[in-house]
């Protein structure tokens, strides 16, 4: 990663650890608010690890939107109790993690308050996560599609659950940390920042700041 460059990302829902790693390393962070919504991406889903393996949590969005509708205008659908279901899944997965009780209240509010727009929900979550991580970053919104006004490292489409992380960032080798179900599964990279936060607590910022050393 060219740490001297700003980074450009799409909005995300409790984004993956790698997203917050780039936030910790980059001098400036931009979120594209002018792109169009792309299905089956981190824009409206995250991945946690439950007792039966990796579990996707997806925020439903309203149908009937225009293909050209900006991500900034995508509305969240509430025809199913997805907030209740997501929170139950998170509690089931992390109630026995070392730091769940420390952060539960800060996270639970996002499953009790209704946001009209997906972008607003994601932005609020990201700001909260940065606060909990003690990650001092000001998030900038693009002034146009993929327009940061300067050269940047662009992860808007390449950071995706459909693209292996080793293709997105071949220089990045996730360092292992203790996960809740390590007795059942080998270390699982690419999970939501919730996994790192609940499992490592105040140590999460140190984890994000580690120098990535290429495997030999």
Cβ atoms 195, 90 nearer than 8 A: no
Task: Say what the pLDDT of residue 65 is.
Answer: 67
Spatial distance between the Cα atoms of 49 and 192, rounded to a whole number of angstroms: 9
pTM beyond 0.75: yes
- Measured between alpha carbons, how far is residue 49 from residues 97, 138, 190, 195 in Å? 12, 29, 10, 8
Cβ atoms 93, 55 nearer than 8 A: yes
Spatial distance between the Cα atoms of 110 and 107, rounded to a whole number of angstroms: 6
Per-residue tens of pLDDT for the chain, all 216 residues: 555 789 999 999 999 999 999 999 888 999 999 999 998 999 999 999 999 999 999 999 998 766 678 999 999 999 999 999 999 999 999 999 999 999 999 999 999 999 999 999 999 999 999 999 999 888 899 987 877 767 888 999 999 999 999 999 988 888 899 999 999 999 999 999 999 999 999 999 999 987 655 544
Spatial distance between the Cα atoms of 54 and 114, rounded to a whole number of angstroms: 26
pLDDT digit string, tens, across residues 68-115: 789 999 999 999 999 999 999 999 999 999 999 999 999 999 999 999
Number of C-beta neighbours around residue 120 at 10 A: 13
- Residue 194's contacts (CB-CB under 8 Å, 6 or more residues apart) are 14, 46, 48, 90, 94, 107
Task: Say what the pLDDT of residue 186 is.
Answer: 93
> Which residue(s) pair with 30 in the sheet?
8, 140
């Amino acid at each position: 990663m060219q740490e001297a460059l700003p980074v450009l990302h799409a909005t995300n829902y409790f984004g993956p650890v790698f997203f917050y790693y780039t936030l910790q390393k980059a001098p400036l962070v931009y979120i594209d608010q002018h792109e169009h919504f792309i299905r089956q991406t981190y824009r409206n889903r995250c991945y946690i690890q439950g007792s039966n393996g990796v579990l996707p949590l997806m925020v439903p969005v309203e149908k009937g939107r225009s293909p050209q509708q900006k991500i900034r205008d995508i509305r969240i659908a509430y025809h199913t109790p997805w907030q209740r279901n997501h929170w139950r899944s998170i509690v089931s997965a992390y109630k026995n993690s070392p730091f769940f009780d420390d952060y539960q209240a800060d996270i639970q509010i996002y499953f009790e308050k209704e946001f009209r727009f997906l972008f607003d929900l994601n932005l609020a979550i990201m700001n909260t996560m940065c606060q909990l991580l003690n990650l001092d970053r000001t998030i900038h919104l693009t002034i146009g599609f993929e327009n940061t006004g300067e050269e940047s490292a662009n992860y808007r489409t390449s950071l995706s659950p459909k693209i292996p992380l080793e293709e997105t960032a071949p220089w990045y080798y996730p360092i292992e940390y203790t996960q809740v179900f390590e007795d059942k599964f080998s270390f699982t990279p690419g999970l939501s920042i919730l996994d790192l936060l609940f499992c490592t607590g105040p140590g999460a910022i140190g984890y994000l700041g580690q120098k990535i050393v290429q495997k030999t």
